Every structure is written in structure tokens, then in C-alpha cells.
């Protein structure tokens, strides 16, 4: 019997995605100036970036990057060989101090960090319980670890407790996003922390979209929920959202983080972040810590968008974070509305299954402290016009 042709299989899968309006297109951004950008030659206002505090082009970050660039373009090796420099150590110390955690450990990306945590801590016979809407990296991490993966209904702490109680052998990790990237809502962290205590599980929070935005001094969703750092012994911090940089860190319990440094394959076998980028990230942390004014601007923009949406009859999902989704249902409608917005000068991403559940295709509107009121009002008018044109 002949082998299956990979090319034939891929072309068939592509045709299926085409028929379901699920093809992904790579867009080229040739210019960025705050929230203004040029995309495939077209000038657009960006309402789909995760640059929540507008730090990616902050002069202090650019200056730190430039000043450290003389040290070289790369770190030359993994942390455990010779890639861990003074700048890496300083950033880890700054993160631990900011987030009031015993220790921090740097990673090349949030995806790698999630793979590292679950793979290093769990194995055959252990249990990982996760929110059904967790980021894909957490799901993949449990599969890589070889542990039992159980998922509970979204934001259902009682469901998490039932899943944990159903499997009493081995170690248990309860993992949840802090802020859910496609819905914009916040996990019930106090209830999850209580469940973890009662079920003798370790709570791990992926706070990619909460750090810098929520909590006192931008410490994230765990602090905003009134929890102590020890209530969530491990947290993921990504640098590519509110901090405007690239990379990630896991912060938390000293023994757990030390184990990651010695046993997590995505840490051991990956080149460390470039020193200049680390310098820029450290500056971003400092800006975020003192960034109450930026967070105030962001909160005002969120309220303006929500109030304006109600006035225009646009039913945004319940969210008090910069992620403000507008569910339209079908992939066809989501793509058509995104195209209509782009024709009016606004860039809003159409998010479709399998990233979101079937029947919940949406426009994922994201706000930045860099947006001004007139830009938000213009987006609202364009959204209403696009809705009326596509869904009369």
C-alpha cells in the first residue's frame, strides 16, 4: 500500500479551510508610528495589537535597546552554557521585586514557558486541570508532559474542583489564563486559589494579558484579585503584550523555579534572549511599575468604547480589560466586517475557529493607552457602518 502523500494531504486540508473561510493570511507591516501603521501599502489605525500601554516604541525602551546594542546582537548560547549575562540576571531580579516573588526565570516566549512549566513538573500519572478556554500553549504543554489532562467549563471553579477530585493519584496542577485572550474576561482567581488549596494542587496562572494592565503597579490579575503571590506559586509573565517587548518569564516559588532551570527542556536547550532586548524589557518593567497614568488612560479608553458600543447597539462581550470582542457568529460575517473596517482605515482582526469555539467568530478589538478619544469614536462609527452593511 503506497504511503500517504504529505503534499496531497496538506492541499486537501487547505481546501477544507478555504471552504470554511478559515485560511490565514500573512500581512506585512512596513511602518509603525504609535497606533498608526502601514499594512500591505495601506495606512490604518491599529485596533488589534496587544501593545496595551503603548510601550513598544517608547523612547526609554528604544534608548535602552540602543545603549546595550554595542554588546552584540545575540547571547551566543543557552542560559546554562554561557548565554546568561548580567543583564539577564538583572531583569530576573527586577521582575521578582516588582511581582513580589522569590525568583524569576527568563524564556524566549510565553509559549515556550508554558511548555516548560508543565513538562518539567508533571508526567505519567499526574493531573493537569485547565479552563476550557486556556491558551493553546497550555493545552499543548499538558499533551507534551504525558499527564492526564482534564478541562472544566470556562470560569467554573466548581468544575475545576470536580475534575481535581476525580483523579487523586500523583501530583496536580491547576492552570488557568489570568485574562482570557479571546474573551477579555478575568478568571475567578480567588475561587481557583481556594480550590487549589482544598485539593492540594499547585495553581499556575498564565498572566500574559494581565501583567502591566491590572493590579497595583501593574502587577497583574493575581494582585488585582487580592491574592498573595504564594496563592499562585507560579505565574507566567510575557513581555510581548503590555511591556511592548519580546520574551517571557516564570515567577514564583524559589524551589519550583529552580527546578525549571535544571529540568525544563525548553529552557535548557534554547539560546538566551539577546542582551539588548533584555535591557529594553527591563526598562519596560520600570515604566510599567510607575505607569498609573498610562493605565488610567487605558481604563478611560475602555469605558469610552463600551459606552459608545452600547449607544451604537453593538453588543461587546463582558470585559473590563483592553480586549473587547464583538461576536458576529459566522466566519463569513467576521471576515466581511473586518474588510469593511479596513476600507474605512481601521485594522481589527477577525478571529475564527478553531481559535474560538464554533459559531463564535468575532472581531477582537484591542485598545492601547496610545489611542485617543477621536480614534475610538471613529472606530465605533465604522463598526456600526460595517455591521449595517454586512448584517442588514
Whether the ω angle into residue 184 lies within 30 degrees of 0, i.e. cis, is no
What is the structure's pLDDT at 100? 97
Task: Determine the 3-state secondary structure of 168 from DSSP.
Answer: coil
Q: DSSP characters for 37-90?
A: EEETTEEEEE-S---TTS-TT-HHHHHHHHHHGGG-S---SBIIIII--HHHHH
Active-site residue 306, yes or no?
A: no
Which residue out of 58, 79, 84, 209 is catalytically annotated?
A: 209
Residue 216 DSSP one-character state: G
CATH T-level fold of 23-53+292-390 = 3.90.1150
User: Could you tell me the CA-to-CA distances from 55 to 117, 281, 291 in Å, in that order?
Assistant: 28, 10, 10
pLDDT mean over 132-149: 97
Q: Which residues contact 197 (CB under 8 A, 6 or more apart)?
A: none
- Taking residue 257's Cβ as centre, other Cβ atoms within 10 Å add up to 23
Sorting pLDDT into bands at 50, 70 and 90, what band is 2?
Answer: confident
CATH 3.90.1150.10: which residues of the chain? 23-53+292-390
Active-site residue 167, yes or no?
A: no
Which CATH number describes the domain made up of 59-289? 3.40.640.10
Task: Determine the 3-state secondary structure of 129 from DSSP.
Answer: strand
**Least confident among 3-12, 48-57, 221-230, 298-307:** 3-12
Strand partners, 174: 129, 203
Segment 363-373, tens digit of pLDDT: 999 999 999 99
Segment 70-87, tens digit of pLDDT: 999 999 999 999 999 999
The reported pTM is 0.94
Which residue out of 181, 221, 301, 360 is catalytically annotated?
A: 181
Segment 4-61, tens digit of pLDDT: 899 989 899 899 888 887 888 888 899 999 999 999 999 999 999 999 999 999 999 9
157 burial via Cβ count (<10 Å: 0-12, 13-18, 19+): buried
Active-site residue 181, yes or no?
A: yes
Which residue out of 241, 301, 319, 333 is catalytically annotated?
A: 241
| C-alpha–C-alpha distance, residues 221 and 219, integer Å | 7
What is the structure's pLDDT at 392? 67
CATH 3.40.640.10: which residues of the chain? 59-289
| C-alpha–C-alpha distance, residues 342 and 337, integer Å | 9
Asked if 235 and 252 touch (Cβ cutoff 8 Å), the reply is yes
Amino acid at each position: 500500500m503506497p504511503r500517504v502523500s504529505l503534499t496531497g494531504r496538506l492541499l486537501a486540508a487547505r481546501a477544507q479551510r478555504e471552504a470554511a473561510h478559515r485560511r490565514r493570511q500573512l500581512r506585512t507591516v512596513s511602518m509603525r508610528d504609535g497606533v498608526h501603521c502601514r499594512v500591505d501599502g495601506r495606512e490604518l489605525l491599529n485596533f488589534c495589537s496587544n501593545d496595551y500601554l503603548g510601550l513598544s516604541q517608547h523612547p526609554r525602551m528604544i534608548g535602552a535597546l540602543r545603549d546595550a546594542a554595542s554588546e552584540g546582537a545575540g547571547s551566543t548560547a543557552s542560559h546554562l552554557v554561557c548565554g546568561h549575562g548580567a543583564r539577564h540576571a538583572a531583569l530576573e531580579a527586577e521582575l521578582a521585586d516588582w511581582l513580589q516573588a522569590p525568583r524569576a526565570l527568563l524564556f524566549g516566549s510565553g509559549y515556550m514557558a508554558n511548555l516548560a512549566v508543565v513538562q518539567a513538573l508533571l508526567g505519567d500519572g499526574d493531573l493537569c486541570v485547565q479552563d476550557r478556554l486556556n491558551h493553546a500553549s497550555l493545552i499543548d504543554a499538558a499533551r507534551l508532559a504525558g499527564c492526564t489532562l482534564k478541562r472544566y467549563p470556562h470560569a467554573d471553579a466548581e468544575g475545576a474542583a470536580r475534575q481535581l477530585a476525580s483523579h487523586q493519584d500523583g501530583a496536580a496542577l491547576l492552570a488557568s489564563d489570568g485574562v482570557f485572550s479571546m474573551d477579555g474576561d478575568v478568571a475567578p482567581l480567588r475561587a481557583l486559589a481556594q480550590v487549589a488549596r482544598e485539593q492540594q494542587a499547585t495553581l499556575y496562572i498564565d498572566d500574559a494579558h494581565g501583567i502591566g494592565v491590572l493590579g497595583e503597579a501593574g502587577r497583574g490579575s493575581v494582585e488585582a484579585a487580592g491574592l498573595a503571590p504564594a496563592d499562585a506559586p507560579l505565574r507566567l509573565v510575557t513581555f510581548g503584550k503590555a511591556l511592548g517587548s519580546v520574551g517571557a518569564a516564570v515567577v514564583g516559588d524559589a524551589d519550583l523555579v529552580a527546578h525549571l532551570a535544571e529540568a525544563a527542556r525548553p529552557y535548557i536547550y534554547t539560546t538566551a534572549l539577546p542582551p539588548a532586548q533584555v535591557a529594553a524589557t527591563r526598562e519596560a518593567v520600570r515604566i510599567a511599575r510607575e505607569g498609573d497614568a498610562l493605565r488610567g488612560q487605558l481604563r478611560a479608553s475602555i469605558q469610552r468604547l463600551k459606552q459608545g458600543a452600547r449607544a451604537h447597539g453593538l453588543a461587546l462581550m463582558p470585559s473590563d480589560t483592553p480586549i473587547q470582542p464583538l461576536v458576529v457568529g459566522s466566519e463569513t460575517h467576521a471576515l466581511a466586517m473586518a474588510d469593511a473596517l479596513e476600507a474605512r482605515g481601521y485594522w481589527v482582526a477577525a478571529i475564527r475557529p478553531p481559535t474560538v469555539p464554533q459559531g463564535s467568530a468575532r472581531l477582537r478589538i484591542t485598545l492601547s493607552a496610545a489611542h485617543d478619544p477621536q480614534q475610538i469614536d471613529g472606530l465605533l462609527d465604522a463598526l456600526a457602518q460595517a455591521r449595517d452593511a454586512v448584517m442588514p
